[in-house]
Structure 1
Amino acid sequence: MYGTKSKNIRIESITKLLIMLLLENGPVHGYEIIKHMKSRTGKKLSPSQVYPFLRQLEARGYISKTRSGTRQRTDYRLTASGRDFVSSLDSKFGEIIDVYMRSRLITCAHCGCEIYKGGETRTIKGKKLTFCCKSCANAYTYKGV
């Protein structure tokens, strides 16, 4: 797996990358991370996958924690060095994600915009074409092609 290592923190899984990106959005508590990951990936993380990683991040100074509320839940937030670390992840993983996404994009046969998922597919004169929307598909068809 592609990974990046900084101050002995190794981000070698999508799970850890997503946790870092979730922390970038603001303070979160552990259970919130588990819920978010379930909704985003369909997989339920166990606390043993989340809390040791959070402890590592805290030990390296990437996150700080505060207790809040009547139930004294622990909120985790990125520190300045944590934000720098996430920024370095953006540049390292961004290129990989860009290559991955580019290989899955389809170009609209009418307007040329890029489509990741969905679109309108029509067979015109024996050729299967993909369009970004019905309007483009209809406009292409009406050109007499």
Structure 2
Amino acid sequence: MTNNSTSSARLAAPVGGFQEIDGRRVFVHRSGSGGPAVVFLPGASAVGLDYFVVQQRVSRFTTAVVYDRGGTGFSDPLPLPRTATAVATELREVLRAQNIAAPYVLEINPSIATPTIPAWTSSSTTWTPGRSPTNETAANQAT
């Protein structure tokens, strides 16, 4: 769901809350504890809460996070489309602001995976086939 609202009234999410990133609200809902954190990145026509049931099941074992990219769902409107780099940067900032430490297991919808994975794995992030993308510090601590 694209958030095309130009109204001054803001949508209230039924669960979760908002993280301010670059002066705008980004919806995020975190459940569970432990690591690695599983982060659900919805596809082009989906929102974070579309993964709510799965998130709740995963949260029995570890931290599980859903969020709405800027311009979608409950997050503040933004001009669309956005670059994969902008989405990956926003996600990193949300996770950092929420104190959710690497490593991460990214569950990315195939409709946005192709551009997002290279953007996520660039600059100070390592990607090992068969492992989740992590920042170098976390990867080095694990070895």
Relative to total residues, which structure has the larger helix share, 1 or 2? 1
Say yes or no: TM over 0.5: no
The TM-score, its normalising length taken from structure 2, stands at: 0.31
The TM-score, its normalising length taken from structure 1, stands at: 0.31
Larger RCO of the pair (alpha carbons < 8 Å, separation 6+): 2
Larger Rg: 1
